Structure 1
Amino acid sequence: MSNENTTSSRPTSVFVVAALVLIEALATLAYAISYMLNLDANGTVNMGGQLFMLALCLLLAVWHGSVAINFFKGKAFTRAPIIVWQLFQLILSVSFLSSDIPMVTAAAVLSIVIAGTTVVMLFAPKTTAFLGDRPNR
């Protein structure tokens, strides 16, 4: 059930979750562009594998942007992809905490903070009421 028919304004938590998910989509797009600019670099993956990875990153960025927009519109089905993405993000970020490169460690901490904030705000009472899961108080 979505909240399209009500005239109440969106709670702050909806703006925060939508913004954080959109930031993640833009970060994925930035990674895909960076990956594309380095396609000619020699690596362990052949050109076919590199092109597949590029296409996958671009599709993920577009998909994630679509999820952010539909969440902002009040579509309740977007909660599942958001939570799955955050769990993947947490798992991958924790593995990068042991890096010797300070920038990688900082990015991992930032990623954990974003994922944690998104999960908490996603299940905030006002957010679930906006998505139609709870009656408004």
Structure 2
Amino acid sequence: MSNNESSVPRPTSVLTVAALTMLEAIAVLVYAANYLLHLSDEGNLNMGGRIFMLVLCLAAGAWQVSVSLNFFKGKAFTRAPIIVWQLFQLILSFSFMQGPFTGVAIAAIVVAAVTIVMLFAPKTTAFLGDRPQS
């Protein structure tokens, strides 16, 4: 059941997940823009590899925007990509705990944890049509 035409208001948990996934998408797109600005800098990859990484970052950001918007609309199928993204984010964040990016890593872990908890909140699953409305 899709809630596109439903008169049921969106619960706070749905708004929270949609906002956090959009924030993550914007972060990926900002990183891609920064990567584009430094595309000609010296590095370990040749130009073909750098362009591939840029396209990959842009595609990931666009995909995340799409997932966020469709989740906001009440599409239940978006739960799987959101979970995969959060697990990927958790794995990468723990690898950045040592070094200068510890604060960013902790923030990413908190965002992923809140997103996962809110994604399976009873009001969220009811909104997505997995449970009866209460």
Range of TM-score over shorter length: over 0.9
Partner residue, 2:132: 135
Give the alignment of 1:61-76 within 5 angstroms. 61-76=61-76
Q: Distance in 1 between the 2:40 and 2:98 partners?
A: 29
Q: Distance in 2 between the 1:111 and 1:5 partners?
A: 33
Gaps of 5+ in 2: none
Give the alignment of 1:1-137 within 5 angstroms. 1-99=1-99, 101=100, 104-137=101-134
Q: 1:5 Cα shift?
A: 3.4
Q: 1:3 Cα shift?
A: 1.7
Residues 52-103 of structure 1, C-alpha deviation per residue, up to 9 Å, x if partnerless? 000010011111000000000000000000000000000000111022x1xx
Q: Distance in 1 between the 2:30 and 2:6 partners?
A: 36
In the superposition, the TM-score normalised over structure 2's length comes to 0.98
Q: 1:20 Cα shift?
A: 0.1
Q: Distance in 2 between the 1:112 and 1:86 partners?
A: 9
Q: 1:6 Cα shift?
A: 2.0
In the superposition, the TM-score normalised over structure 1's length comes to 0.96
Runs of 4+ in structure 1 off by over 4 angstroms are none
% identical aligned pairs: 62
Q: 1:4 Cα shift?
A: 2.2
Q: Distance in 2 between the 1:97 and 1:23 partners?
A: 21
